[in-house]
Structure formats: structure tokens, C-alpha cells
Amino acid sequence: MQFIYQTERLLLKVLDSRQAGLICNFYQENQAFLEPFEPKHPENFYTEAFHASNLASEYKAFLKLSHMRYWIFTKAHPNVPIGSVCFNNFLHGAFQKCMLGYKLGETDCHNGYMREVLLFMIPLIMQEFHLHRIEAYVQPDNFSSIRLLTRLGFIEEGYLSDYAQINGKWVDHLLFSYIRKQDIVNTLP
């Protein structure tokens, strides 16, 4: 895996603790938009120190190929993060799967950015890690994510009651999976 990839309009970068200020600014600017959809944050979440520590941990996990978070930047503004995509919880052996998570800042939604990122990243991750499936968990009222995943070929596989604690409350989720077709990894719709 490389530290930087690019798509037609975007740069995808693995960051380290030196970019903590950028990430702290991203979360501060999008606090009201993102908090309703995320686990409750620790008190120091909106500090540069928190993000320096978190980015250092994620960087080490990337080097071990156990957690891949790529921060998304537009080519027009290569130093302003607009979101991230994360592949984690890799299981091998009989499972050959991982989990997918993603987020965009409020002003960058509905521009096709996440579709562009996932069209590029899903085949790459599946091939590099020899995966059979990628799972994504979505709140039932997150129609934008459901539409995105469906357009990418994910199938809804189940309803999970009280699946995750989001913003201090247990919330139901839908399970979506992208399943690798026999050697057809590079043919996402």
C-alpha cells in the first residue's frame, strides 16, 4: 500500500502526527454536522494533542497493514482535508473480510467525492489483502450512504438492533456487504 494515491479530482493521504492541526481543524469545522453520527468523543477530542496521538497510532497501524485510514483532499486544495475513508478489522483465514468506514465534511457532501474514492479504493484493498468481502454498517435513516453503497454494488444483508452507541445512544444499523465476484474485482459499477 502506498502513502498517497490520487484519483481524477482527489488526493488520498495517510497522515502522521505532524498533520494533527489539519485534522483538528476538520473536526472543529464539522463538529455540529458529524457528532450526531459518531460515537461520543472524549473531552479532549477537539484538541491538536488528541489528534496527534490518534494519527500516530493510525500511522503505526498502517505500517502493520492492520488499519488503513486515508484522508481525502481535493487537488485544488491539497492541504485542506475534506473527509476520510477507513478500512479496518481485517480478518483472514476463513473470513477474508474487513470493515469500511467513511466521512465527509458538510460542505463537501453530494459532489460525488466518496463515490470516486470508493471506486478507486475498494478494488485496490480487495486485491492487496486478498479479501472476499467488505462490510459497511449504516444507520437506517442515512439515505445518502445507503444510496452510495447500493450504487457501488453493496447488498443489504441484515438489520442490527442497538448495534452501536452513537452520540451516547444505542442505534440500529443496516449491514451492507460488497462480495468479490470470481476475479472481477476491477469491475465495480
Residue 65 belongs to a domain with what CATH number? 3.40.630.30
Residues 6+ apart with CB under 8 A from 169: none
Evaluate whether residue 175 is within a structural domain: no
End-to-end CA gap in the chain = 23
Give the single-character DSSP code of 133.
E
Evaluate whether residue 27 is within a structural domain: yes
**Closest CA relative to residue 68, chosen from 89, 53, 48:** 89
Evaluate whether residue 107 is within a structural domain: yes
Is the per-residue pLDDT at 121 higher than 80? yes
Evaluate whether residue 170 is within a structural domain: no
Evaluate whether residue 161 is within a structural domain: no
Is the per-residue pLDDT at 110 higher than 50? yes
Domain that holds residue 77: 4-134
Evaluate whether residue 122 is within a structural domain: yes
What would the pLDDT profile of 135-163 be if each residue is shown by its tens digit? 999 999 999 999 999 999 999 999 999 99
Give the full edge-to-edge strand order of the sheet including 155-166. 4-6, 10-13, 68-74, 77-91, 97-104, 133-138, 169-179, 155-166
Evaluate whether residue 165 is within a structural domain: no
Question: CA–CA separation, 156 vs 161, rounded Å?
Answer: 15
Is the per-residue pLDDT at 183 higher than 60? no
Domain count, the chain: 1
Widest CA span in the chain: 47
Evaluate whether residue 183 is within a structural domain: no
Percent of the chain beyond pLDDT 90?
Answer: 93
Residue 146: the pLDDT is 97
Residue 181: the pLDDT is 76
Residue 182: the pLDDT is 53
